[in-house]
Amino acid sequence: MTRLVEALRTLGLEGRVGISGRWVELKGERCRVYVAAAPRNAEFYTWCDDPKERTVEHYSDPIAAIEAGLRRAAGRSGGGHVDG
């Protein structure tokens, strides 16, 4: 199981998971949220399909990436974070 799928389960969320477990798609309040793992699962990228929220954000923790994406999809601030 990938770190991304583990994070999804830890948060108690359901979403569409890619065959390899390297990306997930979640339904947010306003739009869909996508989180993808970079090679070696060391970095995670999140974005929304809302035209106003399409900026890709980088995180080193999959839980932080999922939570930030869902905040953006709800129209709440919390985006723009780059860690690592």
Domain count, the chain: 1
More confident residue, 11 or 80: 11
Provide the pLDDT confidence category of residue 81 given band limits of 50, 70 and 90.
very low
**Other C-beta atoms within 10 Å of 21: how many?**
16
Q: Is residue 83 part of a domain?
A: no
Reported as a single tens digit per residue, the pLDDT across 8-17 is 999 999 999 9
Name every residue whose Cβ is closer than 8 Å to that of residue 42 and which is 6 or more positions away in sequence: 60
Of 28, 63, 27, 31, nearest to 44 (Cα)? 63
Q: Is residue 25 part of a domain?
A: yes
Q: Is residue 44 part of a domain?
A: yes
Q: Is residue 82 part of a domain?
A: no
Reported as a single tens digit per residue, the pLDDT across 44-78 is 999 988 877 678 999 999 999 999 999 988 877 55
Q: Is residue 59 part of a domain?
A: yes
pLDDT for res 51: 78
Domain hosting 68: range is 3-73
